Structure 1
Amino acid sequence: MLNALPTEDAHARLAAELKAKRKRRNAWANVAAYAVLIVIALIMLYPFYWTLITSLEPTGNIYEAKILPKAISFKNYIEMWKGTTVPFWRLILNSLIICTVGVVSTVTLAALAAYPLAKMKFPGRDLIFYSILALMVMPNEAGLIVNFITVNKMHLLSADNATLRMLGQYAAIVLPGMASIVGLFLIRQSYLSVPLELLEAARIDGASELKIWRSIMIPLALPSIAAFAILEFVAYWNSFLWAKIIIQDKELLPLSAGLLELSGMFSTNSRAVMAGAVVAIIPILIVFAFGQKYFIKGLEGAVKG
C-alpha cells in the first residue's frame, strides 16, 4: 500500500502534464486558425474598405493601395444625394420596386412549386424535379438571348403609353428570374422534413391542399423561405447586366446599373461611382444584419432536409 502511493502520484502528475500539453497544443492550433481566418477576412474586406476611403477622397490617384485616405471630403456623397450626377433617388425607387415585386413573386412561386414536388405523389414527380435541377449547370448568361426574345414577343418593351411602358420594363426585369431553381431546391428540401402525419391529419379534417400549404408548410419552412428571400433581395438589388440590356429608358434603371451612367466615353467620375457603390451596399448589410439568424437557420434546415 505504501509503495502504491508514489506510483499513483506519478500517474496523476503524468496525466496532468499530458493534459497541459494538450491544452497548449490546442491553444496554438486555435491561434493559428484564427490568424489564417483574420488574414482571409482582411483580404476579402479590403476591396470594400478601399472603395469607402476612395469615395471619401476629393482628389488623388485612385489606382494605388492605401490604408488611410489622404483627405476626407463628402463632396461625392453630397453630389449623389442631390442627384446632380445621376437621378439618385429615382434609381433607389426603381431598385425598391424591382426588389419588392421580384422577391414576393419569386418566393411565392418557388414555395408553391416546391409543395407538390415534395409532398404529392404523381407519375414522373422525381423526373420532373431532377430535370429542373439539371438546368442549374447552365450559366445565367446562356438565357439572355432567349429571355430577350421572350419579353420582346410579349410586347413588354414596345408600349406607346408611358405608364404601360414603365410597367412593362419593370416586368421585363422581374419575369426571367421568377422561376428560381435554387429557391425550388431549398424550399423543397425544407418541406421534406415536415412529417406526413400532419398533412394526413389536415386532409382528414377537410383542409384543401392550398390550406395545408398556407397553414402548415409555410410556417414550418419559414426559415428556409426567409433565407431564400434574402438571396433574392441581394440578386434583384444587384441586378446589372440584364437590367442594362433590357431597360431602354435610363430613368428606369436600378441603382447598380444606373451608376454606370457616371462613366462616359472620355471621362469617368470614379469617386462618385464608388460613393454610389457604398450607398448601394448599405441596404444589403442591413438585410443581412437583421436576417442573419433566419438565413443560417434556413440553410441548415434545407441541408438537413
Structure 2
Amino acid sequence: MTTSPKTDPTTSPQAAHLRAQKRRRTRLHNFAAYTVLTTIALVMLYPFYWTLITSLEPTGNIYEAKLLPSGLSLKNYAAVLSGTTVPFLRMVLNSVVICTVGVIASVTFAALAAYPLAKMRFPGRDLIFYAILALVVLPNEAGLIVNYITTIKLGLLEQRGPVWDTITQYAAIVLPSVASIIGLFLIRQAYMGVPIELIEAARIDGAKELTIWRRIMLPLSMPTIAAFAILEFVALWNSFLWARILPLDPQMLPLSAGLLELSGTFATNSRATMAGAVLVIIPILIVFASLQRYFMKGIEGAVKG
C-alpha cells in the first residue's frame, strides 16, 4: 500500500496568500504611521524654519507663511553680533557661566541626595521621597516669590563692588535651579538598579558611604547623570522668566533673557530679533545632536531602574 507524500502547510497557496496579506497590512500600517509622524515633525519644525528664513531676509513682510525667503542677507546677524545694540557676546558668556555652574551644582546635589533615598535605610525614607516628588505638580511660577525673598535675604542683590556684584548676581540666577526634583527622581531610579550586593561588599571591606557613592554609584549611573545634565543645560540656557524678574545689571543678563532687550532695541527690525533667536537655539541643537545617544541611553536606564 503506497501513501501520498504529506503537503507542507507552510508552502500551500493559502499560506502564501495569508503571508502576502500580512505583509501588505504591515506596509500599510507603516506608511500610515510614517505619514502621521512626518506631518507632526513638519508642523513642529516649521516655526524654527520660519524664524530662520525670516532672519535671512533683508526686507519684506514677515507676518506671512512662506516656504522660501524673499532674499538672502547676513546683515541681521551682523547687527546682533556687532555688539553695538546689545552686549551679545557678554550675554553668551553669562549663559555659559550660568549653565556651567548650574549644571555642576544641580547634578552634584541631586546625585548626593538620591543616594540615601535609594540605598540607605532609615525611618521615613520613602515618605520623604514621595513628599519631595509631590512638589513636581506645582508650577515653577509658584516658587518665584519665595525664591525672590530668599535671594534678597541672602544679600545677593546688594551693591558691594564690581567683582562681588558679578559673583552674587550669577549666584542669584543659579540658586533656584540647584535643587532639581526631576534630577533627584532620575538619579534615584538609576541608583535603584545597582545591585545591593556591591554596596554591602564595599561596606564589609570598610568603605565609607561617600567612597561607595563616588566609586560605585556614580560610575554605574553615569548614563542617567549625563542625560540629566543635558536636560539641566537646556533648562538653564533657555531660562528667561527668573532672570527678567531679578533687578540685574543689563550686562549680567543671560542670552535668552537678553533677547527681550534685543527686541526692544530693534523695534522696527524684527529680523534682527529672529537672528538672535536662531543664535540662541544653535547651541542646544549642537548639544542634542552630539549627545543624543547618551541622552536616550540615560533616560532608558532611569526608566528601567
TM over 0.5: yes
Whole-angstrom distance in 1 between the partners of 2:84 and 2:2: 93
Structure 1 partner of 2:284: 284
Whole-angstrom distance in 1 between the partners of 2:303 and 2:133: 16
| Residue-by-residue CA offset, 1:156-204 (whole Å, 9 max, x unaligned) | 0013211111111110011111000000000000000000000011111
Residues 275 and 284 of structure 1, relative CA distance in 2, 3 Å threshold: same
| Residue-by-residue CA offset, 1:246-304 (whole Å, 9 max, x unaligned) | 14200110000101112239924311111111111111111111211111111111111
SS at match of 2:12: helix
SS at match of 1:239: coil
| Residue-by-residue CA offset, 1:117-171 (whole Å, 9 max, x unaligned) | 0000011111110110111110000010110010001010013211111111110
Structure 2 partner of 1:64: 64
The question of whether the paired residues in 2 share the 8 Å contact of 1:189 and 1:303 is answered with: yes
Whole-angstrom distance in 1 between the partners of 2:102 and 2:131: 24
Structure 1 partner of 2:106: 106
The question of whether the paired residues in 1 share the 8 Å contact of 2:157 and 2:169 is answered with: yes
The reply to whether residue 181 of structure 1 matches residue 178 of structure 2 is no
Structure 2 partner of 1:150: 150
C-alpha displacement of 1:84: 2.2
The reply to whether residue 204 of structure 1 matches residue 217 of structure 2 is no
Instruction: Kindly report which structure 2 residues correspond to 1:17-56, keeping only aligned pairs within 5 A, or say none.
Output: 17-56=17-56
| 1:177 alignment partner AA | S
C-alpha displacement of 1:85: 2.1
Q: C-alpha root-mean-square deviation of aligned residues, in Å?
A: 1.8
The question of whether the paired residues in 2 share the 8 Å contact of 1:156 and 1:171 is answered with: yes
- 86-95 or 160-169, which moves further after superposition? 160-169
Structure 2 partner of 1:162: 162
Whole-angstrom distance in 2 between the partners of 1:57 and 1:83: 20
The question of whether the paired residues in 2 share the 8 Å contact of 1:109 and 1:178 is answered with: yes
Percent identity between the two aligned chains? 68
Instruction: Kindly report which structure 2 residues correspond to 1:255-294, keeping only aligned pairs within 5 A, or say none.
Output: 255-264=255-264, 267-294=267-294
Residues 106 and 266 of structure 1, relative CA distance in 2, 3 Å threshold: closer
The question of whether the paired residues in 2 share the 8 Å contact of 1:247 and 1:253 is answered with: no
TM-score, normalised with respect to structure 1: 0.96
Structure 1 partner of 2:214: 214
Whole-angstrom distance in 1 between the partners of 2:10 and 2:290: 55
Structure 1 partner of 2:115: 115
SS at match of 1:263: helix
Residues 202 and 266 of structure 1, relative CA distance in 2, 3 Å threshold: closer
Structure 1 partner of 2:94: 94
| 1:248 alignment partner AA | L
Count of residue pairs the alignment pairs up = 305
Whole-angstrom distance in 1 between the partners of 2:188 and 2:158: 38
| 1:155 alignment partner AA | G
C-alpha displacement of 1:115: 0.2
SS at match of 1:111: helix
Residues 100 and 15 of structure 1, relative CA distance in 2, 3 Å threshold: same
Whole-angstrom distance in 1 between the partners of 2:99 and 2:273: 21
| 1:85 alignment partner AA | T
C-alpha displacement of 1:10: 10
Residues 247 and 107 of structure 1, relative CA distance in 2, 3 Å threshold: farther
- 42-51 or 10-19, which moves further after superposition? 10-19
**5+ residue gaps, structure 1:** none
The question of whether the paired residues in 2 share the 8 Å contact of 1:227 and 1:294 is answered with: yes
Whole-angstrom distance in 2 between the partners of 1:10 and 1:138: 59
Structure 1 partner of 2:133: 133
| Residue-by-residue CA offset, 1:79-138 (whole Å, 9 max, x unaligned) | 122112211110100000000000000000000000000000011111110110111110
Residues 64 and 204 of structure 1, relative CA distance in 2, 3 Å threshold: same
Residues 10 and 140 of structure 1, relative CA distance in 2, 3 Å threshold: closer
**5+ residue gaps, structure 2:** none
Residues 266 and 299 of structure 1, relative CA distance in 2, 3 Å threshold: closer
SS at match of 1:168: helix
